[in-house]
Structure 1
Amino acid sequence: MKLKIAFLQLQPAGSIEDNMEKGVKACREAKEKGADIALFPEMWSTGYVFPHEKEGLEQNAVSLDSAYVKQFSALAAELDMAIAVTLLEKHEPKPRNTVCLFDRHGERMYRYSKVHICNFGEDDDEGVLDAGDDFCVAELDTAKGRINVGSMICYDREFPESARVLMLKGAELLLVPNACPMEINRLSQLRGRAYENQIAIATCNYPASHRGCNGHSTLFDGVIYHTETGAPRDMLVCETGEEEGIFLAELDVDLLREYRNREKCGLKNRRPELYGILTGGRK
């Protein structure tokens, strides 16, 4: 099975309604190009621009039963294509930074809210948002077959536990919305998460025309060694440029599964009884 993932590396249009319209158009174009999954950058509903006073923040947040979310659910069913759409989600006591994955039938597979919010005590960071409280994995039905999918969002990448928990929950592919400069160190983090968990990671960023971003959306396939020769290989399948656009990359799921079945290095030699310090234990 080979899945085509579309990176919607787009410049926001302005309002929630304008972003919805541009996002719908981009999904249609992705489908025309043969995509099985379309992935948006982080918090597309607002273009990762959000007020920091309570009233304005709440006015810019959208609920899961809003026209914005329903539009992409219906569109996924219409196009027979999975869509991972992002939003500033209305939530109590504070809004959340969220991605919803809809399958090709328009069914919501999960709602994941960013667990590790960027709360650095600065005026323009995510301290005004509420953090998510769980990592989600779902079996996604695509036209090519089924695959276990989970998500991180941007800063989650910097915590190895995020990808590890998702791998332990059975994820084969991580869909990662993003909104920051993807330079060599952040790209290396994604490569590391794919390497250590034998997992494919698709990350969609905003283009360089968006403040604080630079494109470089990527797909790492998680296959470290050639299955036939055992020689090291580059896991990077695709890295876009800085410009706005819709870019497709193909993930060879059969290759990944063959590799995972043979190597098992992500699970076989773990020593969880010694990892208690990670969760407040004594060791």
Structure 2
Amino acid sequence: FTVHALRQNGAQRCTLGTMICFDREIPESVRCLRAMGAHLVACPLATDTAPLGAAALGGRASNEVITRCRAAENEVFIAVVNHAGQFNGGSFVVGPEGEVLTQMGQSPGVEVVDIPVQ
């Protein structure tokens, strides 16, 4: 796992932790990044998830539930970014209380989310 200091005008603004795909299903992954000082965790995926509401593990519903739990457990923002097109998209950002701040559809696109950091 890695953590990066993001700077603006020479001052540190945020600390970004990175993990990939399956890592977020392991509670210690996010906990480790948070302990390293991460304010935001980026988690790229490459999954052809089942439609929302599917019972299969790995479906969109379970992806969201797992991510919301990890964010709330560790009081951290998590951005899950999935491919669109061949994959089902569905990128989203979760806040430190487990709330979904934004959710993308299945088409390519861009969303901007303001994340307050201290």
Q: TM-score, normalised by structure 2?
A: 0.81
2:101 is the alignment partner of 1:237:
yes
**Are the equivalent residues in 2 in contact too, given 1:221–1:251 (CA < 8 A)?**
no
CA RMSD of aligned residues (A): 1.9
2:68 is the alignment partner of 1:204:
no
Q: Deviations over 1:184-230 (max 9, x none)?
A: 001111111100000000111111x21xx2111001121x2xxxxxx
**1:149 alignment partner, SS class:** strand
2:16 is the alignment partner of 1:141:
no
- CA distance in structure 2 between the partners assigned to 1:151 and 1:158 by the alignment: 14
Q: TM-score, normalised by structure 1?
A: 0.36
Partner of 2:31: 164
**Are the equivalent residues in 1 in contact too, given 2:20–2:44 (CA < 8 A)?**
yes
**Of 235, 242, 248, which aligns to 2:111?**
248
Higher radius of gyration, 1 or 2: 1
- How many residues align structurally? 107
Structure 1: stretches of 5+ with no match in the other structure: 1-134, 225-233, 258-283
Structure 2: stretches of 5+ with no match in the other structure: 50-58
2:67 is the alignment partner of 1:194:
no
**1:214 alignment partner, SS class:** coil
Deviation at 1:145, TM superposition (A): 5.7
Q: Deviations over 1:17-43 (max 9, x none)?
A: xxxxxxxxxxxxxxxxxxxxxxxxxxx
Runs of 4+ in 1 over 6 A off after TM superposition: none
- CA distance in structure 2 between the partners assigned to 1:251 and 1:170 by the alignment: 19
Deviation at 1:178, TM superposition (A): 0.8
Within 5 Å, give how 1:1-283 maps onto structure 2: 135-142=1-8, 146-180=13-47, 181=49, 183-207=60-84, 209-210=85-86, 213-222=87-96, 224=97, 235-245=99-109, 247-254=110-117, 257=118
Q: Identify which range, 235-244 or 140-149, moves more after superposition.
A: 140-149
